[in-house]
Amino acid sequence: MRRDSWSPSFFQGLAEASTYCGAIYVTGLWYKPGEVAKWNAFFTASGQVGSMLAGVTLTAIYEGMDGHAGLQGWQWVSSMSWLASFSPNPIPPSH
């Protein structure tokens, strides 16, 4: 990793660090006690599927976008990661 690119990665990691425990907590607030386990399992499984597909997706971005618009592949990967981290998430319906 380039020396000048550690700072954005640090702050991205700092912002993402509380995602899982925060999502589990919010799930416990929004859903009925009988539904919490189902939604937590769905959330956890979705994260695992995302991890499985992340390598393939980021490799495709790195190789396919390299040199496009004057940016290198790693810059595209970093930009896409930032967009995914700070994009709004859908709010499930309330009961």
pLDDT by residue (tens digit) across 56-84?
988 999 999 999 899 999 999 988 887 87
Residue reference for tokens 């499984």: 45
Average pLDDT, the chain: 83
Evaluate whether residue 93 is within a structural domain: no
Angle between helices 6-16 and 73-86 (to 10 degrees): 30
Q: Residue 73 falls within a domain, yes or no?
A: yes
User: How many domains does one find in the chain?
Assistant: 1
The share of the chain scoring above pLDDT 90, in percent, equals 32
In-domain check, residue 31: yes
The amino acid at residue 64 is: G
56 within a domain of the structure (yes/no) = yes
pTM: 0.57
Domain of 78, in residue numbers = 17-86
* Cα 5 to Cα 95: distance, rounded to the nearest angstrom: 44
Q: If DSSP codes are grouped into helix, strand and coil, which group holds residue 93?
A: coil
Q: Is residue 68 part of a domain?
A: yes
For residue 2, is it within any domain? no
Per the domain annotation, does 30 fall within a domain?
yes
Q: Is residue 45 part of a domain?
A: yes
Contact status, residue 85 vs residue 12, Cβ threshold 8 Å: yes
